[in-house]
Amino acid sequence: MVESRLSWKRLRDNKVFWPVAVLALLLLFNAIFTPGFFRLEIKEGHLFGTLVDILNRGSIPALLAIGMTLVIATGGIDLSVGAVIAISACTATVLINPNLATGLPTAAEMVQDITYTPMWLLILVALVISALCGAWNGLLVSRGNIQPMVATLVLMVAGRGIAQLIVNGQIITVYYTPYYYIGNGFLLGVPFTLFIVLAVFLLAWLITRKTAIGLFLESVGINSRASFYSGIGERNIKLLAYTFCGFCAGIAGLIYSSNVRSADANNAGLMTELDAILAVVLGGTLMTGGRFSLLASIVGAWVIQTTTTTMYALGVPAMAAQALKGLVVLIVVLLYSQQARDGIGRLIEGAGALLAKKGVQS
């Protein structure tokens, strides 16, 4: 008896438990109410189905959530990741064919399946610029002592302007087919994006859990001053977190532009920062910083994506879908609150006592 209670407590204290429980509930709901939700088909050696779709579309919020987790662990926030997606997408696509942004290309030039920059180079440039965007945020926060929300708001607003400048105000369409692979390709039968998420997750996990960086991130988030007194370079830790967050947003930008085969400075990654923050919150990391779990954040991102996809599958109108999504989030966040949990516990206890009383009476 004691044994089982102990293990339940350990389960309950595990950060991954709650998001996984919520995800399981959502899947259960779909199993009952959404016909064909779990159907998987193999077409041309590739796996297709709603679940695969969720994982594929969920890759962008998942990647953002990984970077955002580190930032939030330090007690900060990054509102600019949506804008960095646009910068990354515009940088990569404009390098494929700069004529689309500057010159007046002929119809033939516009649609040719070539690239002016080698694929590896344009990916590298886009990612370096994204990481620099993150580093800029990190400098403002750590060296400028500007509050994270204000500091990243600057790039959130300015970033789309920068993206506009990169593409000269044009919407760039991509005709270079190898580029499509990033966001649409399949490897070993499953979407290539899954491998990207896995790789970035592993990278982040190695950085935070196999070095002291994870401990320092949490330490800075719990108490920046006490960390400084303990000899931790809390400014460099913050700089690192924001830089990595920008890097993750850069990868998300590549996936996005590859997925829709174009880059639109005004709409690429719009509002994705909110999903990323939400995913981290669902993953149980406190907004005030401290303890974090990368895996829980990723599961949080999948919860959000599953909710969205479920709405579409059930044919909920797009406008109402947002409200329903809010409701799901509200319920989950309430489940996380100790007070609400105690309240629910008391309700159950009360009901139990009432039933027992009735049992005695009869």
Partner 1 sequence: MSDDYIVEMKGIDKAFPGVQALSNVDFFLKRGEIHAIVGENGAGKSTLIKVLTGVEKQDAGTVMIEGKEILVKSPQHAQELGISTVYQEINLCPNLTVAENILIGREPRRLGSVNWKAMNARAKEFLRQRLDIDIDVTQTLGSYPVAIQQMAAIARALEISSARILILDEPTSSLDAHETEKLFQVMRRLKSEGVAIVFITHFIDQVYEVSDRITVLRNGELVGTYETEHVPILELVAKMIGRSLTELDEMSRIRLESSKHIKSEALLQAKGLGLTGSIEPLDLELHAGEVLGLAGLLGSGRTEVAHLLFGIEKPDSGTMTLDEKVIKKFSPLASIERGVALCPEDRKEAGVLDGLTVRENIILALQAGRGWFKYLSRQRQYEIADRYIKLLNIVTPSADQPAGNLSGGNQQKLIFARWLATNPQVLIMDEPTRGIDVGAKAEVQKLVLELAEEGKACVFISSELEEVLRCSHRIVVLRDREKVTELSGEVDEGTIMHAIGGG
- Asked if 358 is part of the footprint of partner 1 (rule: CB under 8 A), the reply reads no
- Asked if 102 is part of the footprint of partner 1 (rule: CB under 8 A), the reply reads no
Nearest to 274 by CA among 160, 156, 166, 162: 156
- Asked if 205 is part of the footprint of partner 1 (rule: CB under 8 A), the reply reads no
Nearest to 232 by CA among 215, 249, 245: 215
Is 106 or 211 the residue whose CB approaches partner 1 more closely?
A: 211
> How distant is the alpha carbon of residue 325 from its chain centre?
16
Cα separation, 80 vs 148, whole angstroms: 10
HSE-CB for 142 with a 13 A CA cutoff: 23
Phi-psi region of 271 (alpha: psi -120 to 50; beta: other; left: phi over 0): left
Q: Least separation, in Å, of the C-beta of 345 and partner 1?
A: 13
Is 234 or 264 the residue whose CB approaches partner 1 more closely?
A: 234
Cα separation, 66 vs 62, whole angstroms: 6
Binding to partner 1 (CB under 8 A) within 272-291 occurs at: 290-291
Is 237 or 268 the residue whose CB approaches partner 1 more closely?
A: 237
Binding mask 234-273 for partner 1 (x = CB under 8 A): ----------------------------------------
Binding mask 53-72 for partner 1 (x = CB under 8 A): --------------------
Part in contact with partner 1 (CB under 8 A); list of ranges 123-131, 153-161, 231-239, 261-269:
231-239
Nearest to 127 by CA among 240, 255, 35: 255
**Number of residues in contact with partner 1 under rule CB under 8 A:** 21
- Asked if 232 is part of the footprint of partner 1 (rule: CB under 8 A), the reply reads yes
- Asked if 210 is part of the footprint of partner 1 (rule: CB under 8 A), the reply reads yes
- Asked if 222 is part of the footprint of partner 1 (rule: CB under 8 A), the reply reads yes
Q: Is residue 194 within 8 Å of residue 292, measured between CB atoms?
A: no
Q: Least separation, in Å, of the C-beta of 342 and partner 1?
A: 10
Nearest to 267 by CA among 158, 359, 160: 160
- Asked if 165 is part of the footprint of partner 1 (rule: CB under 8 A), the reply reads no
- Asked if 218 is part of the footprint of partner 1 (rule: CB under 8 A), the reply reads yes
- Asked if 5 is part of the footprint of partner 1 (rule: CB under 8 A), the reply reads no
The type of residue at 45 is G
Q: Is residue 304 within 8 Å of residue 275, measured between CB atoms?
A: yes
| DSSP symbol at 251 | H
- Asked if 226 is part of the footprint of partner 1 (rule: CB under 8 A), the reply reads yes
Q: Which of 165, 212, 333, 356 is in the footprint of partner 1 by CB under 8 A?
A: 212
- Asked if 203 is part of the footprint of partner 1 (rule: CB under 8 A), the reply reads no
Is 186 or 247 the residue whose CB approaches partner 1 more closely?
A: 247
**Which phi and psi (to 5°) does residue 233 adopt?**
-75, 85
Is 166 or 232 the residue whose CB approaches partner 1 more closely?
A: 232
Nearest to 174 by CA among 252, 103, 130, 119: 119
Which H or E run includes 186? Answer: strand 186-187
Part in contact with partner 1 (CB under 8 A); list of ranges 35-43, 64-72, 140-148, 217-225:
217-225
DSSP string, 8-58: HHHHHH-TTHHHHHHHHHHHHHHHHHSTTTT-EEEETTEEEEHHHHHHHHT
Cα separation, 281 vs 296, whole angstroms: 9
Is 346 or 357 the residue whose CB approaches partner 1 more closely?
A: 346
- Asked if 120 is part of the footprint of partner 1 (rule: CB under 8 A), the reply reads no
Q: Least separation, in Å, of the C-beta of 291 and partner 1?
A: 6
Which H or E run includes 191? Answer: strand 190-191
Binding to partner 1 (CB under 8 A) within 76-95 occurs at: none
The type of residue at 247 is F
Is 250 or 290 the residue whose CB approaches partner 1 more closely?
A: 290
Q: Least separation, in Å, of the C-beta of 162 and partner 1?
A: 31
Residues engaged in binding partner 1 (CB under 8 A): 210-213, 215-216, 218-219, 222-223, 225-233, 290-291
